[in-house]
Amino acid sequence: MAAATAAGAAAAAAAVSLRTCYLLFHNSILKVPSARKARTSCASGRRTRRRGLVEAIGNTPLIRINSLSDATGCEILGKAEFLNPGGSVKDRVAVKIIEESFYHPLCSAGEQPSSATVNPSPIPPASSHQPEGSAGSTAISLATVAPAYGCRCHVVIPDDAAIEKSQIIEALGATVERVHPVSITHRDHFVNIARRRALEANKLAAEQRESNETRINGLAHVNTKMMDDNLATMQSESKKTQNNDPAHVSMEMPHSSKCDLSSDSKGGFFADQFENMANYRAHYEWTGPEIWEQTEGSLHAFVAAAGTGGTIVGVSRYLKEKNRSIKCFLKDPPGSGLFNKVTRGVMYTKEEAEGKRLKNPFDTITEGIGINRVTRNFMMAELDGAYRGTDREAVEMSRFLLRNDGLFVGSSSAMNCVGAVRVARDLGPGHTIVTIL
């Protein structure tokens, strides 16, 4: 409960780099059951036994939110992503980012993939964030999932973030580096530091490989000389024996130490949840199909807030491909410019008006959602409209859901539910609306 409370309380952005490493069974990395095998159908997801942590991710239930459904006359359903091992929808993204980095090893850290390739690129924003925002959910998910793939997780987080956030990530076995918050344009912004950490890991791995190769080549040269010398000695002793020389003949070869070819680090990659298209693909290939199957295609609308944009983009694109009449909406928190981007085509928020500019335009209690830049993921969204939300609505909704439905959710989930009620009122009774918890 303490960990859950801390996770819900921290509003920090986190940049994450992962270091792949040789563990005792390092060759088992690609033998880990691919999460894709567990994504075939919701029916298979109902099985009671799953192989390992990775297969426990996804196939979350779709819960009817009784209080909201009864009040609006619509079926308001919440995808219970809090039942994933890491406690959020970001578990899916963590799996996808790591798997794609393994299956497409030619993509280097920070590299953007071509249309035919997928990548393990940098993780900005969690950055991208303009508060660089991952309210930490992605960091927690990566720290949770990484060990299952033989990876080490390195999280760079601003030191004005709640200390509980760092404690949770450290408890999961990740390395946490707390740094002073500065502008994203500064080289020491936590996102830029995380990117450097991945590059440093690659440099270290390259040096280790070069060192190992040098040792191997040097040892081979020494062993060759030793073998030649010993062969000459053996031939000499053989001649002495043939000449009835009583000298003792030793056929034992000298012992040579074994060269350890394993390395502690294979390199690193910058996860880059905001710009890495693995984010959107996780939801297009996984979350969207689950929602479609669980509703048997009988849904009228999907609504959610956006941070990186991966969830709303992946789900909206999949549902639109299945049925163009399904409406998809954005619910935007205070301080974010996405509402104006969707409704007016301009990235602008009133907090940025002349004379009103705030030091931190994200003066809001909501975490993990809202942004003032368009990410590569969000660019692909297929939306029919957007709604604004307020902190008061989010707070009141979170308390309402706990009191009436027993659902203990954070600010972003509460904002999603506020959006679901708005959509239900606009569409009228008798519609089915899905959102993310």
**Across residues 46-72, what is the average pLDDT?**
91
Edge to edge, the sheet with strand 151-158 lists: 175-179, 151-158, 15-20, 267-270
Position 7 confidence tier, pLDDT thresholds 50, 70, 90: very low
Cα–Cα dist 287/284, whole Å: 6
User: Which pTM value belongs to this model?
Assistant: 0.74
Dig out the tokens for 239 from the structure: 């001649």
pLDDT at residue 242 is higher than 80: no
Cα–Cα dist 51/388, whole Å: 42
Number of H helices, E strands in the chain: 14, 10
Residue 110 within a domain: yes
Question: Which residue has better confidence, 400 or 358?
Answer: 400
Q: Using one digit for the tens of pLDDT, what is the confidence trace for 249-302?
A: 333 333 333 323 234 567 788 888 888 999 999 999 999 999 999 999 999 999
Which residue(s) pair with 267 in the sheet? 20
Cα separation values, 314 from 94, 309, 366, Å: 15, 8, 22
Residue 112 within a domain: yes
Q: Per mean pLDDT, which range of 31-35, 94-98, 326-330, 374-378 is the poorest?
A: 31-35
**φ, ψ dihedrals at 270, nearest 5°:** -90, 120
Cα–Cα dist 154/271, whole Å: 10
Residue 59 within a domain: yes
pLDDT at residue 107 is higher than 60: no
Give SS3 for 408. coil
User: What was the pLDDT predicted at 34?
Assistant: 44
User: What was the pLDDT predicted at 69?
Assistant: 98
Q: Which of 337, 359, 368 is nearest to 350 (CA)?
A: 337
pLDDT at residue 176 is higher than 70: yes
Residue 324 within a domain: yes
Question: Which residue has better confidence, 383 or 230?
Answer: 383
User: What was the pLDDT predicted at 117?
Assistant: 26
**Across residues 85-102, what is the average pLDDT?**
92
Q: Using only the alpha carbons of the chain, give its radius of gyration.
A: 27
Residue 100 within a domain: yes
Tokens 């690129």 label which residue? Answer: 121
User: What was the pLDDT predicted at 20?
Assistant: 47
Dig out the tokens for 162 from the structure: 């709640």
User: What's the domain count of the chain?
Assistant: 1
pLDDT at residue 10 is higher than 70: no
Mean per-residue pLDDT of the chain: 76
Q: Using one digit for the tens of pLDDT, what is the confidence trace for 54-65?
A: 999 999 999 999
Tokens 């998910």 label which residue? Answer: 141
User: What was the pLDDT predicted at 222?
Assistant: 54
Dig out the tokens for 325 from the structure: 């009449």
Give SS3 for 101. helix
User: What was the pLDDT predicted at 187?
Assistant: 87
Cβ-contact 75, 433 below 8 angstroms:
yes
Residue 1 within a domain: no
Cα–Cα dist 436/182, whole Å: 32
Cα–Cα dist 314/296, whole Å: 18
Residue 235 within a domain: no
Cα–Cα dist 231/234, whole Å: 5
Query: What is the Cα 195 distance to its own chain's centre?
Result: 15
Classify the C-alpha dihedral 238-243-244-248 as positive or negative: negative
Cα–Cα dist 432/304, whole Å: 14
**Across residues 357-369, what is the average pLDDT?**
66
The length of the chain is 437
Cα–Cα dist 113/103, whole Å: 13
Cα–Cα dist 353/337, whole Å: 12
Cα separation values, 336 from 129, 376, 383, Å: 11, 17, 17
CB count, 10 Å around CB of 283? Answer: 28
- Provide the CATH number for the domain around residue 174: 3.40.50.1100
| 385 DSSP 8-state letter | E
SS3 sequence of 329-368 = EEEECCCCCHHHHHHHCCCCCHHHCCCCCCCCCCCCCCCC
Cα–Cα dist 392/149, whole Å: 41
H-helix or E-strand spanning residue 215 = helix 190-242
Q: What angle do CA 41, 310, 398 make, to 5 degrees?
A: 90
Q: Which of 301, 319, 312, 316 is nearest to 338 (CA)?
A: 312
Position 5 confidence tier, pLDDT thresholds 50, 70, 90: very low
Give SS3 for 429. coil
Cβ-contact 358, 111 below 8 angstroms:
no
Q: Which of 219, 272, 232 is nearest to 96 (CA)?
A: 272
Among residues of the chain, what percentage have pLDDT more than 90?
41
Find the domain containing 377 and state its range.
Answer: 9-39+50-200+268-436
